Structure 1
Amino acid sequence: MPRPYAVAPRTTAFVRVIARRTAPVVASVLLAPLLTAAAHPAEPTPFTHPGVHVGRTQLDAVRERVRSGQQPWRAAYDAMRRSRYAVLDRRPRPYKIVACKPYAKPPACMAEREDAIAAYTHALLWYVTEEQAHADKARQIMDSWSAVIKDHTEGNSGLQAAWAGSTWARAAEIVRHTGAGWPQQDVDRFSRMLRHVYLPELSGKVADYNGNWDLAMTDAAVGIAVFLDDRKAFDQALSRFRARVPAYFYLRSDGKLPVPPPGGTVKTQQQIRTYWFGQKRFVNGLGQESCRNFEHVGYALAATSHIAETAWHQGVDLYGPVRERLAAALELHSRYQLGEKMPKWLCGGKPELTMGPDLEVGVNHLGNRLGEPLPQTRKLAARMRPAGTDDLFVAWETLTHAENP
């Protein structure tokens, strides 16, 4: 009995002949579009400028709200303008070598971070007031550093480069793309500084370090990539984000234990629990450093939101895949920072409640753009307003992101 759908031998032979005769023609027809595409590859989508941390629409909203006296933006602006970062007679303090040892505060490290925040502060003041003096001051600070700095050294070099580099990129992006009058030769020198003094530090392997390092370094890398129009560096930063965030903020869907840090040596149950500062029970939103202190979790929350925000301005939705993690982390840490009693099984019942001004960017996207309730986070963010600066890499985010779609 013949097999169902079997082809007769003669028919098979005929098909083979036809196939041999027509294969070149068919192949040429099928491959023609592919060969044309290969000869003329699609151009990558251009970056949107300004588009590091804040976009033009956000900046326009800030200007309108401040000038019309709307709150909390006017109060946030006034606090920024009264700060030591906003004075026009500030003298930059550039260093050739920025040597940063862990748990130390060398003058070079503090000067670099503070001058970067000052440049960003004056860039925001320039956009809101349109006073050229602020644009000139931002440029002066950035030009002073790009003319001098050559390297970062010592144990905290990667983290230091991350904190300063993320802020430099935000300041430079506004000044360069809003008509502030930055000469091209100075832009080029600043670009070389970011590419050769900062990006190499940010590519360091820190898988086994506390996760706020990886996220802060990615924050700086993605902002610098946009400023440099460097698609390869941008894509690398996005890949790093996608790998690290699930290993920092826990969800029950991960299993009984958190995801191990990507590319690291922390793999066994005991190693993971030690890496998570001795925590044995894991709940939605817990961070890898929650039982260290809430300050470092705040750094991670801020950096995660910064990276996703810059990508959002470039048409890439990083928020979506981490929406549940980020919302859970914001709510968990906000609840206890607000004073809810900590259970004994969580960090021994004695966490360090030291969160800084790290909430505005995340709560704006999840709460205002996507409609997540976030009751605890909204309450804590309102209590902290106007959010100022941590003197590291977070600055003036009530002004730039509070309820700003």
Structure 2
Amino acid sequence: MITQTSRRSLLKAALIGAGAAVVLPPAARAEAAGFRHPGLLHTQADFDRMAAQVNAGAQPWKAGWDKLVANGRSRSTWTPRPLATVIRGGTGQNVGQMCVDVAAAYQNALRWRISGEKAHGDAATRILNAWSGSLRTLTGNADRFLAAGIQGWQWANVAEIMRGYPGFDFERFASMLVKVFYPLNEQFLTRHNDACVSNYWANWDLCAMASVLAIGVLTDDGAKVSRAVEYFKHGAGNGSIMRAVPFLHPGGLGQWQESGRDQGHSSLGVGLMGVICEMAWNQGVDLYGYADNRFMKGAEYVAKYNLGHDVPFTTYRWENGRNCAPQQQTTVSAAGRGMNDPVWALVYNHYVVRRGLDAPHISAYAERLAPEGGGGDYGGSKYDHLGFGTLTFTRNRPAGALPIGAARKLRPVNLTGASVGERDGLGHLDSTAIAFTIVPGLAGEGYSFVAPDGRYLRHRNYRIRFDAPNGTDLFERDATFLARAGSTSGSVTLESVNYPDRVVRHRHRQLWLDQRQDTPAFRADSSFTAVP
């Protein structure tokens, strides 16, 4: 069991290493001696949120839940197929049986935690016990390290969810992870299969780190957790953060280490690093923010290119094989461009929702893939990600929270395809929207909205219009709005700072400052989402 002192030391080291004083929210701080359980990808607060939102039929959680229920691997009748020896790579490869059973165990564990249905808890337990009672060896060619990493962190997460469930042999399962998976994880991070340290792509390190971190938390082993955190920050291989995102470009873009290889592996890397950061966050260590949010910049780069936009590229050089032969890539690779891997909801909900940062390409990718599915929803070989991020990671924005400095369109919640635009200097809902820069309110509180030409959104004679600032107190108050919780999740109602009984509302596609009415129709007409 890690002590309170050592756990605080981990947090302190992470914050000092980030180069800035970071204050984590209560849910991410150390609450007592030892590790927090459940505390890998999901905490008890997360499960409570999922259950409440699904039971209420709230979106997008309900859509994510429906995606889970529709997946055949989530059935409580699932029959595991455990093996004594798992082989990945080379003759006799059979790793697929393990990949599918991990997905089935996770999906049933989720259904139990959210619905309380015992049949699904029993199914997850049956799968976990079958594998810990059978598996003794993980082998194959070099790809065995990938299986030990990817399925290592996945198995640990399922075991963490099922910790304490009647009939689950936790000790035997934890022993299997420590004896079968962890040695391969550590061997790779230490020796890199006896190749040049830069020979292996970032994903090899990342999955090994994720497994070491997950097993460490599961077994209350502070040394393993420290090892993963330290490697993330300073490791010699390509999975450490400064090597996984080796170059920074203008516009908040960080070139991903595998972007010159192909986009499938780049997307995989974003998913694996997100897993590492989320598990660390739930134990009070902020790797998301390390090195000035370097991970976010790398994810923005991958998202932007895979959404069809051009990105800059700095020639990437490395050394290959055991003789460290020099290699280089001079351009970003289009191979696999547009990958639909279920990894973006996690990243979006941390940076944009939790932290209120501007990440337009991450946001767009998360919106494009919602609701995310999981293993089996993306083809026969797509079991590298547990998935279902729309269900598990979606969080409500704090009431009234808008991202300062971000460019956002204002979209009404009840008029599809329309956003706030302009006609003859007046606010109007159009299909061609204006992207406002959100700035601190000119009147000293709330928010103001600046159009690209420098004019502000303001009210005059109760009409919403676009005007250039004139330096008067009246203008500043007219152009300042308080953001209140809107009628739907993530939406806001914009309340006038100098007429607090009036809010921005659309009627007949025109924007007015109308007196608040307590009716469903008015609340919908006066609720807007700020979207990239």
> 1:114·1:392 contact (CA, 8 Å) conserved in 2?
no
CA 1:342–1:134: 2 relative to 1, 3 Å: same
Aligned to 1:402: 394
The alpha carbon displacement at 1:43 in A equals 7.0
1:382 counterpart SS class: helix
Q: Which position in structure 1 is the counterpart of 2:185?
A: 202
Does the 8 A contact of 2:347 with 2:362 survive in 1? no
Q: 1:189 and 2:180 equivalent?
A: no
Q: Counterpart in 2 of 1:137?
A: 123
- 2:146 pairs with one of 159, 172, 175: 159
Contact 1:113 1:163 in 2 (8 A): no
CA spacing shift, 1:239–1:124, aligned 2, 3 Å: same
Q: Does 1:347 align with 2:331?
A: yes
Q: Secondary structure at the match of 1:98?
A: strand
Q: Using a 3 Å threshold, how does the CA distance of structure 1 residues 322 and 353 change in structure 2: closer, same or farther?
A: farther
The alpha carbon displacement at 1:348 in A equals 5.7
Matches within 5 A, 1:13-24: none
SS in 2 for 1:54: coil
Q: Deviations over 1:339-391 (max 9, x none)?
A: 22467987267343143122122221111111111112111111101111232
In the alignment, is residue 383 of structure 1 matched against residue 374 of structure 2?
no
Match of residue 171 from structure 1: 158
Separation in structure 2 between the aligned mates of residue 187 and residue 392 of structure 1, nearest angstrom: 24
* Alpha-carbon displacement from aligned partner over 1:94-113 (angstroms, at most 9, x marks no partner): 111111106x993x201111
CA–CA distance in structure 2, aligned partners of residues 67 and 154 of structure 1: 45
TM-score normalised per structure 2: 0.59
Larger % of strand: which?
Answer: 2
1:319 aligns with 2:311: no
- Is 1:52 equivalent to 2:40 in the alignment? yes
SS in 2 for 1:51: coil
Indicate how the Cα distance of structure 1 residues 162 and 349 shifts in structure 2: closer, same or farther if over 3 A, else same.
closer
Out of 103, 111, 132, which is 1:146 matched to?
Answer: 132
Question: Counterpart in 1 of 2:468?
Answer: none
Name whichever of 77-86 and 383-392 sits farther off.
Answer: 383-392
The alignment of Structure 1 onto Structure 2 pairs a total of residues equal to 332
Per-residue deviation, 1:214: 0.4
Asked whether the 8 Å contact 1:175–1:182 carries over to 2, the reply is: no
Aligned partners of 2:312 and 2:255: how far apart in 1? 13
| 1:6-405 equivalences in 2 (<5 Å) | 45-101=33-89, 106=93, 108-155=94-141, 156-177=143-164, 180-183=165-168, 186-205=169-188, 206=192, 207=197, 208-243=199-234, 244-252=240-248, 284-341=253-310, 347=331, 350-355=334-339, 356-389=341-374, 390-403=382-395
Runs of 4+ in 1 over 4 A off after TM superposition: 40-44, 341-346
Q: Report the Cα offset of residue 229 of structure 1.
A: 0.8
1:284 Cα deviation after fit: 3.8
- Asked if the contact 1:335–1:376 (Cα under 8 Å) also holds between the matched residues in 2, the reply is yes
Aligned-partner Cα distance in 2 for 1:209–1:341: 26
Output one character per residue of 1:301-322: Cα deviation in whole Å (capped at 9) or x when no partner.
Answer: 1111111111111111112214
Could you tell me which residue of structure 1 aligns to residue 489 of structure 2?
A: none
- C-alpha contact 1:212 1:300 (8 A) present in aligned 2: yes
- Taking a change above 3 Å as real, the CA distance of residues 318 and 388 of structure 1, as seen in their structure-2 partners, is same
The one-letter code matched in structure 1 to 2:183 is P
TM-score normalised according to structure 1 size: 0.77
Q: CA separation of 1:236/1:399 partners in 2, compared to 1, >3 Å: closer, same or farther?
A: same
* Structure 1 residue matching 2:254: 3-state secondary structure: coil
Higher helix fraction: Structure 1 or Structure 2?
A: 1
Instruction: Name the CA shift for 1:339/1:42 in 2 (closer, same or farther; >3 Å).
Output: closer
**Cα shift readout 1:92-142 (whole Å, capped 9, x = no counterpart):** 01111111106x993x20111111111111111001110111111000000
What secondary structure does 1:285 align onto? strand
| Amino acid corresponding to residue 272 of structure 2 in structure 1 | A
- Map of 1:32 onto structure 2: none
Q: Which moved more, 1:379-388 or 1:347-356?
A: 347-356
SS in 1 for 2:86: strand
Which SS does the other structure have where 1:190 is aligned? helix
| CA–CA separation in structure 2 for the residues paired with 1:247 and 1:163 | 20
* Cα distance in 1, alignment partners of residues 92 and 348 from structure 2: 31
State whether residues 290 and 351 of structure 1, in contact with CA within 8 Å, keep that contact through their aligned partners in structure 2.
no
Question: AA paired with 2:246?
Answer: Y
Q: 1:134 to 1:249 in 2, by over 3 A?
A: same
Question: Does the residue aligned with 1:144 lie in a helix, a strand or coil?
Answer: helix
Bigger mean CA offset, 352-361 vs 111-120: 352-361
**Higher mean C-alpha deviation, range 376-385 or range 320-329:** 320-329
3-state DSSP of counterpart to 2:82: coil
Counterpart Cα distance in 2 of 1:354 and 1:360: 16
Change (3 A) 1:342 1:351: farther
1:292–1:352 contact (8 Å) kept in structure 2: no
